[in-house]
Amino acid sequence: MGQLAPDIHRELHRFHVLGDLVAVELSIRGTFTGPFETPAGVIQPTGAKLDIPTADFWYIEDGKIKEFNCYVGISVMLAELGVQPDFAAAVAASTTASG
């Protein structure tokens, strides 16, 4: 992400403590000024502002972090990068794969 948006930062919104779980609501923000490498090739930067909804989950055991998971709103991120879904290709591929 640092190459994609060198000015990237995390904007924290809320923390929730639920026993041994800490849930964090946040946004990943920055400007799309670096190349984004994908399996299909490189998407060139557009200067678009990114504001990607994200959730972090910290699992605590015996006062130590046992596990950490970060979930990113990938559909929002791709739309902000200018990537449009190709539903027709996905439907065609699933029809070909199933029979």
**Which domains does the chain show, CATH number per domain?**
9-98 (3.10.450.50)
pLDDT in tens, 48-93: 999 999 999 999 999 999 999 999 999 999 999 988 878 787 788 8
pLDDT for 90 equals: 75
CA–CA dist 41, 34 (Å, integer): 14
pLDDT for 8 equals: 94
CA–CA dist 13, 92 (Å, integer): 40
pLDDT for 99 equals: 59
State how far the alpha carbon of 51 is from the alpha carbons of 3, 31, 66, 84, in Å. Answer: 16, 9, 29, 17
Mean pLDDT score of the chain: 91
The proportion of the chain whose per-residue pLDDT surpasses 90, expressed as a percent, equals 72
pLDDT score of 31 more than 80: yes
Cβ contact 77:50 at 8 Å: yes
